[in-house]
Amino acid sequence: MLKITDLKVNYGGIEAVKGISFEVPEKSIVTLIGANGAGKSTTLRTICGLVKPAGGKVEFMGEDITGKDPTSIVSRGITLVPEGRKIFPNLTVLENLKIGAYLRNDDISEDLKWVYDLFPRLKEREWQLGGTLSGGEQQMLAVGRALMSRPKLMMMDEPSLGLAPLIVSNIFEIIKEVNRLGVTILLIEQNANMALQTADIGYVMETGRITLSGSGQDLMNNPDVKAAYLGT
């Protein structure tokens, strides 16, 4: 579904991504794990068009989308749940969700109902300002907002960041649930344990390169990964 070939990105004067290639098959959960500064976020930001690549190719459903602007990429069905959630604090929950569907011109009431079914808590807080939600609720809102664009591929940047362990496992349950509903997921995480347990395919990224790949289970059993990311 998504195919990255030899992607190179310069970010802030350094070569943050040094030629990576990977694939995200349809209806799968793929995770990219790695330490801070490995280039994971930059990769996601490049795929959705927020950053222009220096070289390489991004293909989505067989179409070359390298270097296109975010508007056209989002309208093709790719959405990003940004790092740190980045919900709109002065907009109500409902307005936040409507912004998620900004590029759609059809009826969104079905999707709104779907998101509220997925996150009943958001329904309760419909008229509250986004900034007044708790961290976990904000993450739900960020996911809900992304789903409102009716994405084919949802990319998530560190959804567990700064959340309590219980909420984190909750979020991963939601990720699986969303995936079951047919949305392909590309997940980047520092919480390698949770991410690899959830993912069908995992890639390990180090200083701008992919150093390891395999099924989530394989990577969990890999001694290098264990030592470096799982701490066991």
Partner 1 sequence: MNVMNMERNGLNNKSTFSAVSEFIAKNKIGFLLIIVLYSALFILEKMMPPSSMLFVVLKKGAIYALVAVSMNLLNGFTGLFSLGQAGFMLIGSYTYAIFTIPVEDRAAVYQYFDGGIIRFTVPVFIALIMAGVAAGIFAFFIGLPVLRLKSDYLAIATLGFAEIIRAIFQWNKLGPITNGSNLLKKFPSFSSVLFPFTVAGISIALIVLLINSSYGRAFKAIRDDEIAAEAMGINLAKHKLLSFVISSFFAGVGGALLAMYQTTVQASAFKAAMTYEILLIVVIGGVGSITGSVISSFLFIACSEWWLRFLDSETYIGSFKVPLLASGFRKVVFSVVIMVIVLFYNQGIMGTREFSSEGIARFFSRIASRNRKEGA
Convert residues 144-163 into a mask of x (bound to partner 1 by CB under 8 A) and - (unbound). Answer: -x---x--------------
Assess contact for 205 and 38: CB atoms under 8 A. Answer: yes
Minimum Å gap between C-beta 100 and partner 1 is 6
Nearer to partner 1, 56 or 100 (CB): 100
Q: CA 23 → CA 3, 5, 39, 58, 72, distances in Å?
A: 5, 9, 17, 10, 21
Q: Residue 129 region, left (φ>0) first, then alpha (ψ -120 to 50), else beta?
A: beta
Following CA atoms 12, 13, 18, 20 in sequence, which dihedral angle do they give, to the nearest 10 degrees? 30
Minimum Å gap between C-beta 150 and partner 1 is 12
Residue of 79, 139, 184, 222 that binds partner 1 (CB under 8 A)? 79
Q: Rule CB under 8 A: is residue 98 a binding residue for partner 1? A: yes
Burial class (CB in 10 A: 0-12, 13-18, 19+), 28: middle
Binding residue count for partner 1, defined by CB under 8 A: 26
Q: Rule CB under 8 A: is residue 48 a binding residue for partner 1? A: yes
Residue of 35, 61, 91, 212 that binds partner 1 (CB under 8 A)? 91
Minimum Å gap between C-beta 99 and partner 1 is 5
Nearer to partner 1, 100 or 136 (CB): 100
Q: Strand, helix or coil at 193? A: helix
